[in-house]
Chain A
Amino acid sequence: MLKTIQQPIEQLKKYQFLFTELVKRDFKKKYKRTVLGMFWSILSPLLQLIVMAIVFTKFFGRGTEHYIIYLFSGNLIFSFFKESTNGGMTSLMSNANIIKKINLPKYLFLLSKEVSSCINFGLTLIIYFVFVAIDGIPFSFRFLLLLYPVACLLIFNIGMGFILSALFVIFKDVKYLYDIFTQLLMYLSAIFYTVDIYPESMQKLFYCNPVYVYITYFRRIVIDGVIPGLPTHFLCFFYAAVMLILGCLFYKKYNYKFLYYL
């Protein structure tokens, strides 16, 4: 058991140089030849937020305190989830030419992609805090706890990425199916509405959706100013761990098989 954990860590050390080069590559490719550069990755969630704020404030925003931040929290987390898993899905396929020719641990490509979407998320997070400040929510040390759901979500995304990338190598329609899935999930994640309108028992069902759990954690800390209870912490960890284990098992099983289909 120990060996299975030790081995990838040693490999990571060995390939540290490659790993940084891969992250650099993803980053350069994304920002190098666009006029607005990094500004783009901030602009697109902002535009989305503005549209949503205009449309939904009238319908759902009444009676919700700090509705803009409420929206932004949901959007922020969900975009991170969506972008990161989508990037993970294509990470193996878009490096097919390398994987076919050079003997490398394939998960490096997935991990480097996840790290660069994480950096991207960091950029939007800055904007998020600017909005929080504008909305008059005082900063507190509790905000540091936000690292916990972010770390959990990152692990969750890596797990998803393992499964999706392996599937995508063999079945190209996974991309479309996953698009539909994320769209449905978005509506189920209470991004622009509050769950109070549902009866108590229904509200509990929302916790089956991992993304909702992470969003809720954010909102509790930033908007309500309280630290979520232990069950929420446990759920965050639980979803991440389960997804990572599933992903690793999936990867271990298909790791060498999908080479034939690249």
Chain B
Amino acid sequence: MTTIDVQHITVSYKVGDFTSLGLKDVLIQKIKGTYQAKMFEAVKDVTFSLKKGDLLGIVGTNGAGKSTLLKVISGIMRPTCGSVGTKGSIASLLELASGFDGDLTVKENTFLRGAMLGYTKEYMVNTYQQILEFAELTEYEDRLFRQLSSGMKSRLAFSIACLVKPDILILDEVLSVGDGAFRKKSENKMMEIIEGGATTILVSHSLSQIKRMSTKVLWLDHGEAVDFGDTDNICQAYEKFLKKKK
């Protein structure tokens, strides 16, 4: 059963200095006819599909369009061309520590984030203790969020987000969260979800992790899909490519 079907996705948008120029100058330049904006293609014509239980690893250098692609699949961005078909609930864990409010307490932030992820109020009330325990933050409940260390922040973010049993799980560099002990714990938790039959997409710069976990690999470069398919072959080719660059 196909759970993710990505067909010829292209994401392009205008880049240029118009955001720093401001409205006045852009209007004046438009009137004068000197206004220029280039189109930038972050993702170019990428096509792939995944079945239930697949674990796709996405590799590529910085700026290859990995995160943009994930945003399109999770529905945050809409592709300029092409289509994405997904089946079931999606949980996307994209660099989660940002987006919390530093001036609110840990408790308030937990509820706010839970609400954003679509949990109901009763569910949050019931699982709140469990979340804090998993994040090992029980005694920090009433601290202001900005007083936490960055590791603690990521731990909390991860603990709230991993509660669900999604059909599709999207992970962007989140398995490298927290200290050694927590990393082990979070990886176990992730494996639990993945083994429960979720389709997973994993972005990681750790090639060994990709090799160990993925069943399929997608290699992106400058927005284009270089290769898609078997893990070992592509990882080898990608390693070669990285060596050549050096």
Tell me the A residues contacting B by CB distance below 8 Å: 14-15, 17-18, 21-22, 24-25, 28-29, 32-33, 95, 97-104, 167, 170-174, 177, 256-257, 259-261
Cβ-defined partner of A25 (8 Å) among B71, B98, B108, B117:
B108
Determine whether the beta carbon of B103 is less than 8 Å from that of A29.
yes
B163 located at the interface, meaning its Cβ lies under 8 Å from any Cβ of chain A in the complex: no
Cβ-defined partner of B19 (8 Å) among A15, A101, A170, A256:
A170
With contacts A25-B112, A173-B24, A260-B13 known, is A103 near B19, CB below 8 A?
Answer: no
Determine whether the beta carbon of A98 is less than 8 Å from that of B116.
yes
Determine whether the beta carbon of A103 is less than 8 Å from that of B26.
no
In this complex, the interface size class of chain B, counting residues with CB under 8 Å from chain A, is 35 or more
Which 6 pairs from chain A and chain B are nearest by CB? A173-B22, A18-B115, A97-B99, A171-B23, A98-B99, A260-B13
Q: A96 — nearest CB in chain B belongs to which residue? A: B99
Cβ-defined partner of A97 (8 Å) among B21, B98, B118:
B98
Q: Is the interface of B mostly helix, strand, loop or mixed?
A: mixed
Contacts of B204 in A (CB 8 A): none
Interface string of B102-114 (1 = CB under 8 A from A): 0110001001100
> Whole-angstrom distance between the alpha carbons of A125 and B206 in the complex?
59
Interface string of B81-98 (1 = CB under 8 A from A): 000000000101011101
> Whole-angstrom distance between the alpha carbons of A172 and B17 in the complex?
12
B75 located at the interface, meaning its Cβ lies under 8 Å from any Cβ of chain A in the complex: yes
Q: Is the interface of A mostly helix, strand, loop or mixed?
A: helix
Determine whether the beta carbon of A103 is less than 8 Å from that of B104.
no
> Whole-angstrom distance between the alpha carbons of A256 and B119 in the complex?
24
> Whole-angstrom distance between the alpha carbons of A167 and B120 in the complex?
33
Cβ-defined partner of B117 (8 Å) among A28, A102, A177:
A102
Of A29, A104, A174, A260, which is in contact with the most chain B CB atoms at under 10 Å from its CB?
A260
Contacts of A99 in B (CB 8 A): 76
With contacts A17-B121, A173-B24 known, is A102 near B76, CB below 8 A?
Answer: yes
Contacts of B21 in A (CB 8 A): 171
Contacts of B20 in A (CB 8 A): 172
Contacts of B94 in A (CB 8 A): 101
B186 located at the interface, meaning its Cβ lies under 8 Å from any Cβ of chain A in the complex: no
Contacts of B111 in A (CB 8 A): 21
> Measured between C-beta atoms, what is the minimum distance from B136 to chain A in Å?
23
Contacts of A101 in B (CB 8 A): 76, 92, 94-96, 98-99
Cβ-defined partner of A171 (8 Å) among B22, B116, B117, B120:
B22
- 11 more contacts with CB within 8 A, not counting A103-B76, A171-B26, are A15-B115, A17-B115, A25-B101, A25-B108, A29-B101, A33-B103, A97-B98, A100-B99, A102-B92, A177-B23, A259-B76
> Whole-angstrom distance between the alpha carbons of A261 and B108 in the complex?
29
Determine whether the beta carbon of A17 is less than 8 Å from that of B120.
yes
Contacts of B104 in A (CB 8 A): 25, 28-29
> Whole-angstrom distance between the alpha carbons of A131 and B78 in the complex?
52
Contacts of B112 in A (CB 8 A): 18, 21-22, 25
> Measured between C-beta atoms, what is the minimum distance from A147 to chain B in Å?
29
Interface string of B58-79 (1 = CB under 8 A from A): 0000000000000100111110
